[in-house]
Structure 1
């Protein structure tokens, strides 16, 4: 019985593929040359060896697939293919560039297969069938390999990004702590000028379930602070450190509600890089103590006294209660009295100036000050330093509220 057309196609394909086996090294070298001609960026010496290994592994897999009549389910790339492709990523070759090399290689193989079929198949009908069979095999192989390698490349890229991020965080932590630092070398490594003026920001996401891209928020914030090229350090999923090189920063714009920001004061050089970062962290610590009453962006300059006085939270609460007493009550009346006293101190104890600033009659200010003195247990101008400090801290820190006092006015 004469063999069927399909059997003749498979047999001819196998014979042609077997005939190509001795040419495998030359075919692999030719593909590598075509890729390097089309993609000069891959001509770097460190990329050449993994590129050659990938060509050899893929050419061998392709040819043996044709010899053995492999089906699409048999076309999974082997460990050598995956390993050599991962090596390309490790040497900085982009995902898109790696995939393009596979398209170039498949194009070369299609041309090669068409040439071999034309040279050895005298029967035009059989030649067309064998050509189509080989090309279909090549395209199926390309589809399967690209899908698998896309996943591998994504995993490898993410792994390298994680390792790079961890190394960057570790290096910046060392920069913040070490006494001896080559500031020029460190700046080159970070891509950031450490010799100039810096304003630091610390961002935290205090609602982890909120879907906020913290790095995107950071980019938006630093654009509002200054125009220099910033430094970003992604410390963890909920924390970012930023430095903006500007001597005259603006206050960062408000972030999304799930993000809190501490902003340091501008300072110069490596010492300033460290100090502004420390200040940003301290401002954020005070913002946490203030709870829901904190500004979305807390500048160190606005809370400097609070940072100095709030290390021992229990002692702060005791100090506020002892100095302000019932002025800490959670009533509109107590808040009006406290605000009036704050403005009165700001106006150098001038009741008329305070009344003008608040927008009430000066007799109202005097009445409120009398009520305040009754709550404090002494005239408002006695113990002014401690009382004014207590008012400042109470405005910036969340303190236990006392039972309401009677609202007379």
Structure 2
């Protein structure tokens, strides 16, 4: 099949790198060359896009896990390697990316019919893409023979893939409804405790541990009965995975909370918390998120940060979503609640109280200090006139009994604490 030497990416598609395991990319580049590998990466992305569009237009359930591109790309690369080597269908195995997509389908409740519909739709598009190359590259006198050889090989290969994937689906289904949740909790607990994962950890978890991770903790706002609780959490996890561009996700009941764990093939942007905040979720779900991290250390860091944000979220009535960037300092300050109450009450003095005028003065002063003592920036943030800001800052200084420029960082810390935890303003402090 000399026509394979002509495979080159067009560069027309906006493909942000391969979706497959680096091992299969390296293997493909060694076997069929870097240009053909790049062509497969580009082609798979376009094929998945086309199939997704076809399903949407037909109103047919199809692309549901968000990892179909990885499965298609890995299968296409495996196919090209097999064609290049002349590998018999009996020796072709569904690649890891396709198998993991199937396992994720089980965990997300995707029926086997939808999985196979996607496999065959992608196979048809792959066949069309390769036939187009043959039509362009192969002389007319060899065209029929090449087409027959390719069709026979592709048909036998996809049958092998389907057989492997169906067995994988059945195995995962059995695990998922059996001991798998307990096994996942065991593995996750060991990892977060600092232990090295076992050889089967990734298979059990369904997430690549060496890549990138984001952890969030969720809990209900009420202790009462919540209908369809599990469905709401699963829907949020799925929607968030799609919005974040995650390769997969996992939910685990851990230490009284639901742990959401999203895995990524490429490093996510540090501002993913803003994307996560915007994902719709049931009103009863309180959420605290860490920052994304890489490898096992990054996973542990993201979980620790989510715990710190959760500490703030459980004590603050201000909002139902906290991320570590917003909560990190507050978590430190609230670690000693009595000390925090003393700090707030000593530093704010005459600004304490629930009166609306006092609340407005505190909030204006907080924005003023956050803005680097800029009246204009504070006014814009609060939608006030600059004269109003100036008056309230002056009034704050009078009530505090000291210039605002005196220890502004300490004053701001106390204001942030009072804003996030209003109860500190009247909580009994040590020594009172």
Query: Structure 1 residues 272, 244: closer, same or farther in 2, change over 3 A?
Result: same
Q: Report the Cα distance in structure 2 between the residues aligned to 1:208 and 1:363, rounded to whole angstroms.
A: 46
Query: Structure 1 residues 315, 198: closer, same or farther in 2, change over 3 A?
Result: same
Q: Report the Cα distance in structure 1 between the residues aligned to 2:174 and 2:343, rounded to whole angstroms.
A: 51
Q: Which TM-score applies when normalising by structure 2?
A: 0.51
Q: Report the Cα distance in structure 2 between the residues aligned to 1:308 and 1:401, rounded to whole angstroms.
A: 18
DSSP-derived class of the 1:251 partner: helix
Deviation of 1:179 (Å):
3.6
Deviations 1:342-396 (A, max 9, x none): 2211332133443344333333222211210122120111110100111122222
Q: Aligned match of 2:374 in 346, 350, 362? A: 350
Deviations 1:281-335 (A, max 9, x none): 2211111111xx2322211111111112211111111111111123231121111
Contact 1:197 1:272 in 2 (8 A): yes
Contact 1:215 1:240 in 2 (8 A): no
Q: Aligned match of 1:311 in 316, 335, 338? A: 335
Q: Aligned match of 1:203 in 197, 218, 226? A: 218
1:7-22 alignment runs, 5 A limit: none
Q: Aligned match of 1:235 in 254, 271, 274? A: 254
Contact 1:205 1:260 in 2 (8 A): yes
Contact 2:215 2:290 in 1 (8 A): yes
Aligned twin of 2:411: 387
Contact 2:344 2:425 in 1 (8 A): no
1:312-351 alignment runs, 5 A limit: 312-351=336-375
- Higher mean C-alpha displacement, 266-275 vs 166-175: 166-175
**Which runs of 5 or more structure 1 residues have no equivalent in the other structure?**
1-156, 404-409
1:218 and 2:233 are equivalent in the alignment: yes
DSSP-derived class of the 1:399 partner: helix
DSSP-derived class of the 2:405 partner: coil
Q: Report the Cα distance in structure 2 between the residues aligned to 1:257 and 1:308, rounded to whole angstroms.
A: 28
Aligned twin of 1:370: 394
Contact 2:397 2:403 in 1 (8 A): yes
1:39-58 alignment runs, 5 A limit: none
Query: Structure 1 residues 325, 220: closer, same or farther in 2, change over 3 A?
Result: farther
Q: Aligned match of 2:190 in 169, 174, 190? A: 174
Q: CA RMSD in A?
A: 2.7
Q: Report the Cα distance in structure 2 between the residues aligned to 1:296 and 1:391, rounded to whole angstroms.
A: 20
Contact 1:218 1:242 in 2 (8 A): no
Q: Which TM-score applies when normalising by structure 1?
A: 0.54
Aligned twin of 1:121: none
Contact 1:329 1:401 in 2 (8 A): yes
Deviation of 1:267 (Å):
0.7
Query: Structure 1 residues 269, 289: closer, same or farther in 2, change over 3 A?
Result: same
Q: Report the Cα distance in structure 1 between the residues aligned to 2:327 and 2:416, rounded to whole angstroms.
A: 9
Contact 2:180 2:204 in 1 (8 A): no
Structure number with greater Rg is 1
Q: Report the Cα distance in structure 1 between the residues aligned to 2:407 and 2:335, rounded to whole angstroms.
A: 23
Query: Structure 1 residues 163, 369: closer, same or farther in 2, change over 3 A?
Result: same
